Amino acid sequence: MVIDIVTVVPDLLSGSFSHSIMKRAQDKGLLKVNVINLREYTTYPRAQVDDYPFGGGAGMVLMIEPLVNAIESLQKSTVYDEVIFLSPDGKKFNQKMANSLSLKNNLLLICGHYKGIDQRFRDHFVTQEISIGDYVLSGGELAAAVLTDSIGRLIPGVLNDETSALSDSFQDNLLAPPVYTRPEEFRGWKVPEILMSGNHKLIEEWRYTQSLERTTERRPDLLD
Ligand code: SAH
């Protein structure tokens, strides 16, 4: 899968994907993340990419021309399954959306900045608008990093048994059960005995019950 990210602050994304599971995904050739600097696609002097909003008001708006130059240039070599604009008024991101996006071949993520981007780009080029939550960030970069990480780790072949996504929260609409590791006892706090029993069937049942209890207590909405 290729994830291309268009941004005015490429530095915010540098390094985000060069560690841990994202690095492994790229080393295995299963994922390629390209960070594209919008300023390289403007024809305005001093690499200008934004301007004052028509009608007045605070903040700057990313202009449509550099965005269209960027997308049309990228589309010469890549056919995108989705062109995603990160935006607080988009559909709220969840694991189900991550699962379905992880099955695509090529994604283009557009990061807004300042007040946002010219609506005409959203109307004519964007195929999905996604928010990572009900709060406002300064730019779409961190949101793009969140999407890339959550989608990238789900690409078939990226995770191995130890890091399997199947036992993570939100798969099966359940939160994950508690986990423990060495030492067996610390300051008198013991690991639940069942986990030391070696009885895999009972352990699975215990984990399922814990998941269910935790979900009922913390996120009953998931069980609806
Ligand atoms: N004026 C806009 C907010 C602009 S914030 C509004 O009130 O809706 C600047 C940019 O940050 C946005 O264009 C978007 O790309 C990004 N952004 C901010 N919050 C976000 C969120 N919750 N999810 C995804 N992207 C977000």
Both 97 and 197 in one domain: the answer is: no
Which pLDDT value is given to residue 161? 75
Which pLDDT value is given to residue 85? 98
Both 97 and 19 in one domain: the answer is: yes
Provide the CA 68 distance to its chain's centre, in angstroms: 23
Contact 154, 9 (CB under 8 A): no
Which pLDDT value is given to residue 52? 97
Both 145 and 210 in one domain: the answer is: no
Domain holding 215: CATH number? 1.10.1270.20
Mutate to test the pocket of ligand 1, among 136, 138, 142 (most ligand atoms within 8 A of CB): 136
What are the DSSP E strand ranges found in the chain? 2-7, 32-37, 50-51, 61-62, 82-92, 106-111, 128-131, 185-186, 189-190
**Does the residue 187 lie in any domain?**
yes
Contact 139, 5 (CB under 8 A): no
Of the residues 122, 152, 182, the one at which a domain ends:
152
Q: Provide the token pair at 72.
A: 């049309």
Q: Provide the token pair at 223.
A: 């069980």
Domain holding 18: CATH number? 3.40.1280.10
Which pLDDT value is given to residue 171? 87
**pLDDT per residue of the chain (224 residues) written in tens, 0 to 9:** 999 999 999 999 989 999 999 999 999 999 999 999 999 999 999 999 999 999 999 999 999 999 999 999 999 999 999 999 999 999 999 999 999 999 999 999 999 999 999 999 999 999 999 999 999 999 999 999 999 999 999 999 999 876 788 889 998 899 999 999 999 999 999 999 999 999 999 999 999 999 999 999 999 999 98
Which pLDDT value is given to residue 155? 95
Question: Which domain does 197 fall in, by range?
Answer: 167-223
Which pLDDT value is given to residue 137? 98
CA–CA dist 149, 82 (Å, integer):
17
Domain count, the chain: 2
Which pLDDT value is given to residue 26? 96
φ, ψ at 157 (rounded to 5°): 100, -15
Residues with CB under 6 A from ligand 1: 86-89, 111-113, 115-116, 131-133, 135-137, 139-140, 143
Kindly give the pairing relationship between strand 2-7 and strand 61-62: unpaired
CB contact set of 122 (below 8 Å; sequence gap of 6+): 85, 87, 129
Distances (CA, A) of 208 to 136, 213, 221: 36, 9, 18
CA–CA dist 214, 172 (Å, integer):
14
Both 132 and 189 in one domain: the answer is: no
Contact 67, 38 (CB under 8 A): yes
- Residue 134 alpha carbon, nearest atom of ligand 1: 22
**Does the residue 161 lie in any domain?**
no
Contact 50, 114 (CB under 8 A): yes
Q: 6 CA distance to ligand 1 centroid (A)?
A: 14
Which pLDDT value is given to residue 106? 98
Both 78 and 127 in one domain: the answer is: yes
Which pLDDT value is given to residue 1? 97
Both 136 and 173 in one domain: the answer is: no
> For ligand 1, atom 8, which residue shows the shortest CA distance?
88
**Does the residue 60 lie in any domain?**
yes
**Does the residue 132 lie in any domain?**
yes
